[in-house]
Amino acid sequence: MSTYEYLLTHEIKPSQQRICLMEFLLKHRIHPTAEEVYSRLSPSMPTLSKTTVYNTLKLFVQKGAAQMLTIDERNACFDADITKHAHFLCKECGKVYDLHEVPSHWQQLPEDTLGHLIDEVQLYYRGTCRKCAEKQAKKKLKPTK
Amino acid sequence: MSTYEYLLTHEIKPSQQRICLMEFLLKHRIHPTAEEVYSRLSPSMPTLSKTTVYNTLKLFVQKGAAQMLTIDERNACFDADITKHAHFLCKECGKVYDLHEVPSHWQQLPEDTLGHLIDEVQLYYRGTCRKCAEKQAKKKLKPTK
DNA sequence: GTGCTTGCAAATCGTTTGCAATAGC
DNA sequence: GCTATTGCAAACGATTTGCAAGCAC
């Protein structure tokens, strides 16, 4: 299915900008922030504005074509993978990773919700990612001081 | 145990402001934002500054005496209950509720973390809280228009 | 041409920073 | 007196808003 058709299945009118943004999200599963999307796309789309990036990402979320992650306190990031899956934030480098290997019990909604109506679940982990942990281990072995 | 002693157990030097803030957090389990803490305390502490509120809340989190929640995209909120428990955000009224009744499997760290070192877990639900759901139901029965 | 989409500039809001005043040992 | 804490004002950065221009059917 083309991105054009994919947007239609989510009731999103496919404009040039929307297609490019969705294509970017689908291709680069890096959980980009609005800022990142803008800076990566603007070289090839000189007239693209940040406002459009913000508007479009918000539209995708509203229409269920993307999810917004609030795992990073500083800025929201976006994921076109709309299946429920856990996320991991590295506090060192700020990267967000998928964690599909987490057992999926958490995805089921609890029976007792105190009467609240739940329509979204997010499981967030935070810590130090593999790469940063390795970097730190090396530093300890041969310190630069 | 007094708040003074409680702060000491977390290696936090108990100043006037720190005691008041921690007392507020312990007494009012409403997951306040920094702004809320400030506006609720400043009437009785006229010289209190927002900077101090931000500094102090950050200190509490660093020392493990409070946790920061990023469930609300707009602003961080704080919880002096440092036990692992799920949270629910009402998208209508913005309130954050504890959900202690959620089965606790999710609190256990997954075996396969792709090599990442996890030191924090958060489970967030979002939807419509009981009060807001009731309000909406009433509106439907006797619409004002 | 009508209505939605885009893009610019300015505004907003939460949070941080620089630095001087203050408090507590 | 020295060090850590506090508080003000300014800076900052992410996001939103108002509005004019552009596009598509």
Q: pLDDT tens digits, residue range A59-103? A: 999 999 999 999 999 999 999 999 999 999 999 999 999 999 999
C22 C1' – B21 CA distance, angstroms?
Answer: 19
Question: What is the identity of the amino acid at A46?
Answer: P
Q: How far apart are CA A98 and CA A79, in angstroms?
A: 10
Task: Check if the beta carbon of residue A69 is closer than 8 Å to that of residue B73.
Answer: no
Q: How far apart are CA A84 and CA A86, in angstroms?
A: 7
Distance of CA B107 to the CA centre of its chain: 18
Q: pLDDT tens digits, residue range B33-90? A: 999 999 999 999 999 999 999 999 999 999 999 999 999 999 999 999 999 999 999 9
Left, alpha or beta for B56 (phi > 0: left; psi -120 to 50: alpha)?
alpha
Please identify residues in chain A, positions 81-110, with a C-beta within 7 angstroms of any atom of strand C: none
What's the pLDDT band for A136 if we cut at 50, 70, 90? confident
Nearest to B109 by CA among A54, A103, A144: A103
Chain B residues whose CB is inside 8 A of the A100 CB are none
Indicate the DSSP class of residue A33: B
